[in-house]
Amino acid sequence: MYLLPTLPPPPPITKAAIQAMGQESRFNLEDLKVIKTEPGRIFYCSLNLLSPVPCTDRPSGWRISVQGKTADRQETWVYYATSKDQITLDAPASLSPKVRKSLSDRFNIPPNNLIIHTAQLTSYSPPCPGDSLSETLRERLCPAAVSPAWRISGPGFGVTQVGLNGENFDADSSIPNGFDRYTGDKAKLPTTTGRAAVIDVAKKLNLNPLSEEIKIASVKAITWNLCGGGGPTQPERGICPNVNVSGWRMLIDAGGLRWVYYENNGLTLDAAQTIAPEIENRLKGAIAKQARLSPDAIQVQASSVSSIYLAGCLDGQLSLRCRQSAQLGWRFRALISGQSQFNAWTYQSNFQGTQVKLLEKGVWSPPP
C-alpha cells in the first residue's frame, strides 16, 4: 500500500506537466501555468480491452491541473504524475465546459444528464480525397492543419469526435461531396445511404472515412421475406408476417471483418451477419472456459448480437487508463443447453471475441 504524499510536487514534475500540455494542446509554454496540485493515486488497468487481472494501485503521486490561457482560448487539463517521466493525462476530467455544452446541445441531452464514459485526446484533419496521393500533392489538395480533438463516448451519442472548443468533427459533418467511389456505378443506391454506411464503419473503427482501409465489397438491391429469410437477421418472435420487403444490402470490408448493412426505410448494421464464424467460435470458447462447459453446449443467439462501445477495461472500475479510450465490442445472449431448459446468459466481449464478461443470467423460453 502506498501513502499519499504530504508535500507539493517538486518543480521538475510540475514542469513536465506543463511541457506535456504544451505538446498536446498547441499552447505556447509561456501561456501555461499550474493552478492546482493535490495528492493523487493512479489506478492501473491493462490497455487491453479486457484486463486479465484486476486494477491495482500505482505508486501514489499528484493530481496536477495545468491551465492554458490566451486572449481567445482557455483550457484546464488534469494530469496525474508519479515522477517527471510518468505524466498521464486524465482526458475525461480535462473536457472544457464548451465541449460539454456542445455535446448537450448537439445530442439534446440536459447538461445534468450528460454522462462521459471515456475521452481520448486524438487529432483531427478534414477527410481528404488525396489520401492515396503523394505527400506534396496531398498538401496542395488538403492544406488544413491537423488539430487536437477529443474522441468521447457516452450514453445517448455512442462515440463522437469534437474539437477543443466543441466543434463537431464527426465525419458526417465534414466529409466532402463526391462519394461516388463508395456507391459504385452498377447499383443505384442513394448516395446518402452509401455515405452513412461508410461513415458508420469509420466511426466504429476510428478510421478516416476516405481511408483505403475501407473497401466496398458489394452493393445490391434485394427482396427478402420477413418469415423466409434471405435478408436481415430477424428478431426472435413466434408468429411472423409473411411479407416480402425490398431494400438494399451493402457489404463493406474493414478492420478484418465484412460489415453487413441493410437499408429499408433506414440503414441498419446486421451485427449477427457481421461477426465472422471464427469470432463466434472464440466467444463460445471463452464462455466455455469461464463457465467450465463444453463449447458444443453454447449457442450465440443471432437476434441478440449488437455492436457496442466499451471502456478500456471491463473489471467494473473506471480507472484512469480504462476511461481514456472507447473501443468496439459486442453484446449478445448465449443459450446454454441444460437437461430440461435453455439458460440465457447475456455477455459483452472485446472486438476479437477472445474475452467475455457475464452481465446477466436468465432462462430462455420460446416467444408466443
Residues 287 and 329 in one domain: yes
- The region of weakest confidence among 148-157, 221-230, 295-304 is 221-230
Select the more confidently predicted residue: 176 or 248: 248
Range of the domain at 340: 277-364
Residues 191 and 260 in one domain: yes
What sign for the dihedral angle of Cα 303, 352, 328, 316?
positive
Residues 188 and 251 in one domain: yes
CA-based nearest residue to 344, from 330, 327, 365, 326: 365
Contact call for residues 88 and 135 (beta carbons, < 8 A) = no
Question: Where does 130-185 have alpha helices with state H?
Answer: 135-141, 171-174, 180-183
Q: How many helices (H) and strands (E) does the chain have?
A: 8, 18
Residue 204 maps to a domain: yes
pLDDT-based confidence at 50, cuts 50/70/90? very low
pLDDT-based confidence at 343, cuts 50/70/90? confident
Residues 139 and 188 in one domain: no
Residues 263 and 204 in one domain: yes
Select the more confidently predicted residue: 367 or 150: 150
Residues 285 and 347 in one domain: yes
- Integer Cα distance of 344 and 361 in angstroms: 6
Final residue before a domain boundary, out of 269, 304, 326:
269
Split into its structural domains, the chain has a count of: 4
Amino acid at 283: L
Residue 287 maps to a domain: yes
Final residue before a domain boundary, out of 72, 90, 108:
90
Percent of residues, the chain, with pLDDT higher than 70: 79
Residue 6 maps to a domain: no
pTM above 0.85, yes or no: no
Q: Which three cell numbers stand for residue 213?
A: 482501409
Q: What is the pLDDT of residue 228?
A: 72
Burial 50-66 (b: 16+ CB within 10 A, else e): bbeeebeebebbbbbbb
Contact call for residues 202 and 208 (beta carbons, < 8 A) = yes
List pLDDT tens digits, range 77-111.
999 988 888 888 999 999 999 999 999 999 999 99
pLDDT-based confidence at 69, cuts 50/70/90? very high
Final residue before a domain boundary, out of 111, 139, 174:
174
Residues 255 and 221 in one domain: yes
